[in-house]
Structure 1
Amino acid sequence: MPVDIAARKTSSSRPIWPVTKDGLDKLPLPENAAAWARANGFTGQAGRILIVPDNAGGIAGALFGTEKPGTDGQSRLLAGKLARGLPEGVWHIEGDAGDAELLALAFLMGGYSFDRYRGKAEAAQTVLVLPAGVEEAETRRISIGVTLARDLINTPANDMGPDALEEQARLLAKAHKAQIAVTKGQQLLKQNFPMIHAVGRAGVEAPRLIDIIWGGKNHPKVTLVGKGVCFDTGGLDIKPASGMLLMKKDMGGAANVLGLAHMIMDAKLPVRLRVLIPAVENAIAGNAFRPGDILTSRKGITVEIGNTDAEGRLVLADALALADEETPDLLIDMATLTGAARVALGPDLPPFYTDDDGFADAVAKAAGAVADPVWRMPLWGPYDKKLSSRIADINNVNSDGFAGSVTAALFLKCFVEKARVWSHFDIFGWTPVEKPAAPVGGEAQAIRALYHLMKQRFPVT
């Protein structure tokens, strides 16, 4: 059922009573409501919703089980269950809303559904009145960014190839009056983006580099780079069929940086924002790049191709080299880069890498503040030798299969020299098991944390 938020309570608004476990007796409930709860075995179980009837057979309100916030973030996003568990109508929180900003955002995130290929959405809505002190524009801004990332990832590759991804970038740029330029096809070679061209040249739709610029020239330079592999067969080192089932999400890095870019531009943060997206399909054809090929990158580093299924780092390398040339104050790349990251930390906890301890600490604090978990991993220098090549400057995969996420980050680090702060986020971009504020499907990861950090680092004055 569609959900929305409202700034003011109406006369028809029904109450939601948050209940901690065994805290039922402490609530000022309507007559017989507590008895109804006990009759239904409701004791404030976390995430449980119990509709409370009135004396006329209607709805008096709803009890909602909450719990003490934990460190995993999910306990603070339980309100996402309200979006899927409340009947239609207008509702408001009665009593202590706890972390009111997260509650409101979780409600919108929990009500997300991807309906592009289904019938028209239901007209009826479930509406939550914003708790006191919650800014409607900010809540919507973040929700729209999350929804944009989810929608782009959920769209299958037949409707979200490089052409369509470029169109979405153009729509976002137009909405925020940003500049956009696209280098496409053979122009990639003329403009010195050889690895983006090599990875994408076998695709039916031409490879390209999307470049969005927004904001004042004198503001701090913030550059976001997102991996835009719209489908990944693995190339000539082809994946098994089971390995391709979710490869529409291999442009999840691009989807996430576009969602983050929306938040930044809509909030009008005082930065000069640049968004770079190498958009390609890693396809198989007679002109596909091969294992054993030597590619010369934009930076001049020669790369031996140890595996064509490690293509994301190749397109990111050319984009990072371009970004680095103008010495950005903050350079962030996001990519669905390695299965090794999932083995290490699972699907819900993206690792990030940086040499800047202050930035890492700020990311961790921001992630905790907004329940958008991430985990710092080390750029372990001794593993550089795992990427050695006998005939080129570097190999695109490590020699023994160990520390795959770390060595991928070390590969990218080779292409960044001038940026004052650089960080790589190895995201999954997918929710495999339903969570309170997230259905199964494409997911925005780390961008709420990064937006929170940027609001603090670059405040609007």
Structure 2
Amino acid sequence: MPPVFAAPSPDACPVHVIASDTFDSWLSSQPQRVQAWATAQGFTGACGQAVAVPAADGTFEMALAGYGNDAARTRRRFVLAEAAAKLPAGTYRIASGLPQEAAVTESLGWLLTGYRFDRYKENAAQAAALVAPDGLDAGAVESLAAAECLTRDLINTPASDMGPAELQAAAAALAEEFGAETSIILGEDLLAQNFPLIHTVGRASDRAPRLIDLRWGSAGPRLTLVGKGVCFDTGGLNLKPGNSMALMKKDMGGAANVLGLARMIMAAGLKLQLRVLIPAVENAVSGPAFRPGDVLTSRKGLTVEVNNTDAEGRLVLADALMLAAEEEPDLLISMATLTGAARVAVGPDLSPFYTDRDTDAAALSASAAHTADPVWRMPFYAPYETMIEPGIADLDNAPSGGFAGSITAALFLRRFAGDARYMHFDIYGWTPSAAPGRPKGGALQGARALFAALPGLLEL
């Protein structure tokens, strides 16, 4: 279950959030015993510090949470989460010191310290529970936490239990929760209904490829989300080495992220028409596997020369994007764990995104800054179009040379988005080292920033 706020209680321990530059004045206003305890514990108000101050009866009279200074906070996403993780189990309430403008982000970070992926291992660890701060829309923050936990759970689940059918079931469960509708195009029907690239990538697996189609809402602007759902990627016949294959259960991270974003949208009741398309496949190796050198024909009619079967994500996305474009949505967004080049460029935390519209980029960057969901704009650099144009087909799925890998992948996808207003996210979908509010494992990236920006982007 996703973490939620604790019920208000007179027994909740008050938490004083204290910045390092206000600590001395705060401490001087406290009784001598509180001063002595805080000093003995080495508390200075530095980011992430936490001290529980005991009362005479053995309970806690108060807790202190370090909030650091401006410079220190810029190096963290969830400042309060670091302190929350160090507090003893119990129920807490914010008594003072938390800036109102930071309440949503810091409360979300506190909730996310309670996330546990315990499907395969009993986890008895208890997190410090938080009463929702005064004036906070608790339901809205809990909804953000639930979306993040949904995405994390989907990515963290190993491919043995998260294949195309299980991803379909997860989408169906989400649809049922919010009164949405889903439909599926499965296996050989993909060929009959002209989704040849999705079928080709998934045909070598005994877990049938499929296109998942979720719809919600009947009025307002049309938003379509497309998420890469490669439930495991061996690399195909261009087989990945073992160390590169180890995390390939997360290659459906784009699908997990669009489902997380869809959950936020539906829970908030945004006045729009939402469509979510997920090409769900397993890129396996067997006799029917597609081969390097093959030339494939896409739904759009463009031919693609396969120079690397490990560049399969853009293939399945191409057919789904073409379907999305045929409906002429007001905004079309794709999310995918697409290229290692993006990780080399910006590392695991930032979400590179592409758009032709400067106003959309500015709106997204602004929302990212206040949602602790960092993004970075990358260019649809037109002179690189020639790099994805091979000699014997319209497009090349894996240009040689290795330069600009994320950009050329984005340019490839843009060929299938038609005239739609299009944004593409080349995410990592994984936190490689634990951080406050973000345990090692599956990660939601870019979705909260998008959710915050959508009212402005779509004039809701």
Q: TM-score, normalised by structure 1?
A: 0.95
Name the CA distance, whole Å, in 2 between partners of 1:278 and 1:363. Answer: 26
Matched, 1:118 2:121: yes
Counterpart for residue 33 of structure 2: 32
Correspondence 1:167-178 to 2 at 5 A: 167-178=169-180
Separation in structure 1 between the aligned mates of residue 431 and residue 123 of structure 2, nearest angstrom: 24
Query: Which secondary structure does the structure 2 equivalent of 1:224 belong to?
Result: strand
Whether the 8 Å contact between 2:253 and 2:337 is mirrored in structure 1 is: yes
Deviation, structure 1 residue 56: 3.1
Q: CA deviation at 1:103?
A: 1.4
Cα-to-partner distance string for 1:88-109 (whole Å, 9 max, x where unaligned): 2210112121211111111112
Deviations 1:305-355 (A, max 9, x none): 010000000000000000000111000000000000000000001100010
* 8 Å CA contact 2:47, 2:73 repeated in 1: no
Which residue in the other structure is 1:106 paired with?
A: 109
Dislocated runs of 4+, deviation >6 Å: none
Q: Which residue of 1 aligns with 2:431?
A: 431
C-alpha displacement of 1:17: 1.3
1:207 aligns to what?
Answer: 209
| Percent identity between the two aligned chains | 52
- Runs of 5+ in structure 2 lacking a partner? none
Give the letter aligned to residue 448 of structure 1: R
Determine whether 1:4 maps to 2:7: no
Contact 2:363 2:457 survives alignment (8 Å): no
- Between 72-81 and 437-446, report the one with greater CA deviation: 72-81
What are the within-5 Å matches in structure 2 for residues 438-453 of structure 1?
Answer: 438-453=438-453
**Aligned counterparts of 1:76 and 1:129: Cα–Cα separation in 2:** 21
Structure 1 residue 459: deviation in Å?
7.0
| TM superposition shift of 1:23 | 2.8
Asked if the contact 1:86–1:126 (Cα under 8 Å) also holds between the matched residues in 2, the reply is yes
The alpha carbon displacement at 1:57 in A equals 3.2
One-letter code of the match for 1:112? Y
Distance in 1, Cα, partners of 2:263 & 2:75: 24
1:280-429 → structure 2 map (5 Å cutoff): 280-419=281-420, 421-429=421-429
* 1:75 CA displacement: 3.1
Q: 1:119 to 1:146 in 2, by over 3 A?
A: same
- Map of 2:250 onto structure 1: 249
Q: Distance in 1 between matches of 2:84 and 2:69?
A: 20
Deviation at 1:456, TM superposition (A): 3.9
Query: 1:57 — aligned with what?
Result: 58
Please, what is the CA RMSD of the aligned residues?
Answer: 1.8
Is 1:15 matched with 2:45?
no
**How far apart are the structure 2 equivalents of 1:247 and 1:30?**
55
Query: Retained in 2: the 8 A contact 1:73–1:368?
Result: no
The residue aligned with 1:136 is 138
Partner of 1:184: 186
Distance 2:254 2:338 in 1: 9
Change over 3 Å in CA distance of 1:428–1:125 after alignment to 2: closer
Deviation of 1:87 after TM superposition, in Å, equals: 1.6
Cα distance change, pair 165–153 in 1 and its aligned pair in 2 (3 A): same
Amino acid at match of 1:202: A
Q: Distance in 1 between matches of 2:243 and 2:151?
A: 24
Q: Quickly say closer, same or farther: Cα 1:71–1:250, change in 2 above 3 A.
A: farther
Moved more, 330-339 or 133-142: 133-142
- Shifted more, 33-42 versus 180-189: the winner is 33-42
- What is the total number of aligned residue pairs between the two structures? 456
- For structure 1, which runs of at least 5 residues remain unmatched after alignment? none
CA separation of 1:71/1:195 partners in 2, compared to 1, >3 Å: closer, same or farther? Answer: farther
Cα 1:46–1:106 shift into 2, 3 Å? same
Aligned to 2:227: 226
Call closer, same or farther: CA 1:2–1:370 in 2, change over 3 Å: closer
C-alpha distance in 2, partners of 1:255/1:395? 27
- Distance (whole Å) between structure 2 residues aligned to residue 30 and residue 163 of structure 1: 61
Deviations 1:7-52 (A, max 9, x none): 63x2111111112125323224454112111112211121011121
CA contact (8 A) 2:348 2:428 kept: yes
1:125 & 1:436 partners in 2: Cα distance?
Answer: 13
Superposition deviation, residue 82 in structure 1: 4.0
Q: What is the aligned partner in structure 2 of residue 149 from structure 1? A: 151
Q: Distance in 1 between matches of 2:79 and 2:114?
A: 12
The CA distance in 2 between the partners of 1:121 and 1:210, in whole Å, is 36
User: In terms of mean alpha carbon deviation, does 32-41 or 245-254 score higher?
Assistant: 32-41
Distance 1:3 1:213, change over 3 A: closer
What SS is found at the alignment partner of 1:79?
A: helix
